[in-house]
C-alpha cells in the first residue's frame, strides 16, 4: 500500500467559509490599494448620530462608497457637501457585511479653484436665503468703545498695525484672543474666540469687550478659506457684540465680511472704524463748548429783554392787592354771625335726638331681645337631638357595610390570583430555560460537526513529520518519520534515516485533504 495516493480530480479543491473568502478578498484589496487619491463628485451624504460621515464618490460612469470616521471628520478643513467636486485621500477596504468595497477617507479637499468658488457661492446663497446678510439685522458700532476684543494671530503684523493705529487715534483697552488664521485649526479657533468674548460677563474681573475685530492679512483663497466656513459666518452673525471684519486686503472677500456688522478693507482701516481721532474729537468738543457758551449767552440776553418787556405791561403791586384786601374785610364782618347761627342749629338737632333716647324705650328693646333669645334657646335642644340621631343612623348604616367575612373573602381571592401569577411565571421561566438548553445543545452539535475530528471520521487523515505538518511530497521525503492520525487513532511510518530514501514514496490509502482544518490549525493537514 502506497503512503500517499494521487488525489482524484476535484477532491483537492479548497473549501472556504464565507467569512474566510471575504477576509482573503479584503487582504488582497488592502495590499494592492494601500493608499490612493480619488477625484470625483460627492453624491449622497449621510451624517448619523454616531458622528461618522457616509458618502458616495462618482463620475459619469462609476460610483464608490466612502466613509469618514468621526475623529477624522472633526479635523477636516472642508466638510463634504453633495454636488461638490473633491480629491479624497484614503485607503481602499471591503465591508464583508454587505459584500462591497469602499474607501476610508483620511483627507478631502475641493478639486481646484473652481470647486472652491462654487462651494463658496453655494454657501453664500444659503446664508443669504436665511437673511444673515440683511442690513436691517446689523448693529451700529459704538462711537467710543471702552474695551476692544481682537481675534487674530498674536505673532503677525496685523495685531501690531491695529495696536499702533489705536494708539495714534485714541488709546483704548485691547483684549487679544490668539487664533490660527489659516489651516485646519483656523475655523474652530475663530468660532471659539467669538463665542468666548460673548460669554464674558459685563463688568467682571476680565471686562467684556464693547467691540470685536476679526482680522488677518491678505492671502490666497486657500489661505483665507477658514473665514469662508459656515461655522465662522454663523458665529459672527450670532455675536451679541458688534463685530468688524478685517480679513485680507481690500480686494479679498470672505463670508464673514457679509455677516459682520461692518467690513473694513484692511486691519488698519478696522482700527480707524473702531475709534475716532482723539485730537479731532477734542477740537470738536472745544468748538461745541464755544457754540454752547454763545448760545447760552444769547438765550439769557433774549430772556432778559423779554422779562423787561413783560414787566412794563404788569400793574403795580398795591393795585393788585386792593381787591383781595376788600374781600378779606367783608369776610371778617360776616364770620361772627355765621358762627353763632351754626351753633344754634346744632343745639336744636341735639335736642331732637336726645328726646328719642329715653330709658323706658331702651328697657323695652332689651326685654324684646331677651324674649327672642329664650325662644331660640328652647328650640336649640330638640334641633341638636335630631341632628345627633340622624348622624347616628348614618354611622350605623356604614358600620353594617364593613363585614369581616367579606374582607376575608376578598383577601383569599386576591391570594389565589397571586399564586396563579406565580405559577405562570414559574412555567414561563422553565420554558425559557428549556429553550436556552436546546439552543446550547444545537450549538454544541454544530461545533462537533465543524471540528476536524468529524472530517477524520469521513475518511481523511492528518499527516505530521518531525513534529510539523506535512503538506507535500517533498516534505514527506525529507521527514525522518511520518505520523498519520485517523479517526480511531495514530500510526507512525518509517524511522530514523527514512528521509534519506530516494525515489517516490509508496502510495498511501489516506485521502488527499480538501483544505486545512479551520477550527484547529495546529493539529496538522487533513488528507
The single-letter DSSP state of residue 497 is T
Domain with CATH 2.40.50.140 in the chain: 18-112
Q: If you write DSSP's letter for every residue of 199-242 in order, what string do you get?
A: HSPTTSSSPPPSEEEEEE----TTTTGGGGSHHHHHHHHH-SS-
Regarding pTM above 0.75, the answer is no
The closest alpha carbon to 124, from 243, 232, 230, 251, belongs to 230
The answer to whether 520 and 464 have CB atoms below 8 angstroms apart is no
The predicted structure's pLDDT at residue 174? 93
Quote the pLDDT of residue 505.
Answer: 43
How far is 130 from 43, CA to CA, in rounded Å? Answer: 24
**CATH code, 18-112:** 2.40.50.140
Cα–Cα separations (whole angstroms), residue 9 to 12, 161, 172: 7, 86, 93
**Among the four given CATH numbers 3.40.50.720, 3.30.379.10, 3.40.50.261, 3.30.950.10, the one describing domain 126-280:** 3.40.50.261
Q: Could you give the residue range(s) of every CATH 3.40.50.261 domain in the chain?
A: 126-280
Report the distance separating Cα 201 and Cα 205, nearest Å: 8
Q: What is the mean pLDDT of each run of 10 residues along the chain (527 residues)?
A: 51 76 82 83 87 87 89 83 84 83 87 70 86 89 92 89 91 92 88 94 87 88 83 92 89 86 91 89 88 93 89 75 82 86 87 74 84 86 89 84 77 90 92 93 84 78 83 84 86 61 40 41 42
Distance, CA of 214 to CA of 260 (rounded, Å): 9
Amino acid at each position: 500500500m502506497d503512503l500517499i495516493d494521487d488525489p482524484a480530480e476535484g477532491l483537492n479543491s479548497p473549501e472556504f467559509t464565507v467569512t474566510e473568502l471575504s477576509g482573503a478578498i479584503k487582504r488582497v484589496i488592502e495590499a494592492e490599494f494601500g493608499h490612493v487619491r480619488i477625484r470625483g463628485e460627492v453624491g449622497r451624504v449621510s451624517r448619523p448620530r454616531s458622528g461618522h460621515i457616509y458618502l458616495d464618490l462618482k463620475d459619469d460612469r462609476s460610483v464608490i462608497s466612502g466613509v469618514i470616521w468621526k475623529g477624522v471628520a472633526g479635523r477636516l478643513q472642508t466638510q463634504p457637501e453633495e454636488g461638490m467636486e473633491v480629491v479624497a485621500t484614503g485607503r481602499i477596504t471591503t465591508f464583508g457585511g454587505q459584500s462591497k468595497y469602499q474607501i476610508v477617507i483620511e483627507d478631502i479637499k475641493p478639486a481646484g479653484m473652481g470647486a472652491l468658488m462654487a462651494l463658496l457661492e453655494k454657501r453664500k446663497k444659503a446664508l443669504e436665503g436665511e437673511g444673515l446678510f440683511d442690513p436691517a439685522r446689523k448693529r451700529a458700532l459704538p462711537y467710543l468703545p471702552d474695551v476692544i476684543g481682537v481675534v487674530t494671530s498674536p505673532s503677525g503684523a496685523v495685531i501690531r498695525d491695529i495696536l499702533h493705529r489705536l494708539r495714534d487715534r485714541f488709546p483704548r483697552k485691547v483684549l487679544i484672543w490668539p487664533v490660527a488664521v489659516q489651516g485646519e485649526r483656523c475655523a474652530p479657533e475663530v468660532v471659539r474666540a467669538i463665542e468666548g468674548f460673548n460669554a464674558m460677563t459685563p463688568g467682571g474681573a476680565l471686562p467684556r469687550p464693547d467691540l470685536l475685530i476679526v482680522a488677518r492679512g491678505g492671502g490666497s483663497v486657500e489661505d483665507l478659506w477658514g473665514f469662508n466656513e459656515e461655522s465662522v459666518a454663523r458665529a459672527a452673525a450670532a455675536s451679541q457684540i458688534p463685530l468688524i471684519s478685517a480679513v485680507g486686503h481690500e480686494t479679498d472677500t470672505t463670508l464673514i465680511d457679509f455677516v459682520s456688522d461692518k467690513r473694513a478693507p484692511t486691519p488698519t482701516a478696522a482700527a480707524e472704524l473702531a475709534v475716532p481721532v482723539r485730537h479731532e474729537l477734542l477740537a470738536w468738543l472745544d468748538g461745541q463748548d464755544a457754540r454752547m457758551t454763545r448760545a447760552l449767552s444769547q438765550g439769557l440776553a433774549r430772556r432778559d429783554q423779554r422779562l423787561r418787556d413783560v414787566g412794563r405791561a404788569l400793574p403795580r403791586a398795591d393795585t393788585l392787592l386792593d381787591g383781595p384786601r376788600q374781600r378779606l374785610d367783608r369776610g371778617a364782618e360776616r364770620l361772627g354771625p355765621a358762627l353763632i347761627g351754626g351753633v344754634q342749629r346744632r343745639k336744636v338737632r341735639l335736642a331732637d335726638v336726645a328726646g328719642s333716647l329715653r330709658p323706658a324705650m331702651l328697657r323695652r328693646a332689651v326685654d324684646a331681645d331677651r324674649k327672642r333669645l329664650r325662644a331660640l334657646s328652647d328650640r336649640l335642644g330638640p334641633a341638636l337631638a335630631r341632628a345627633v340621631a340622624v348622624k347616628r343612623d348614618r354611622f350605623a348604616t356604614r358600620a353594617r357595610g364593613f363585614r369581616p367575612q367579606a374582607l376575608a373573602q376578598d383577601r383569599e381571592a386576591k391570594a389565589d390570583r397571586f399564586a396563579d401569577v406565580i405559577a405562570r411565571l414559574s412555567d414561563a421561566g422553565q420554558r425559557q430555560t428549556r429553550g436556552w438548553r436546546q439552543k446550547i445543545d444545537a450549538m454544541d452539535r454544530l461545533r462537533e460537526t465543524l471540528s476536524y475530528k468529524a472530517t477524520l471520521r469521513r475518511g481523511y487523515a492528518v499527516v505530521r513529520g518531525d513534529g510539523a505538518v506535512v503538506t507535500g511530497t517533498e516534505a514527506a521525503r525529507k521527514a525522518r518519520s511520518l505520523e498519520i492520525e485517523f479517526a480511531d487513532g495514530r500510526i507512525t511510518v518509517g524511522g530514523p534515516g527514512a528521509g534519506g530514501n530516494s525515489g517516490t514514496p509508496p502510495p498511501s490509502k489516506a485521502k488527499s485533504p480538501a483544505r486545512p482544518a479551520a477550527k484547529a490549525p495546529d493539529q496538522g493537514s487533513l488528507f
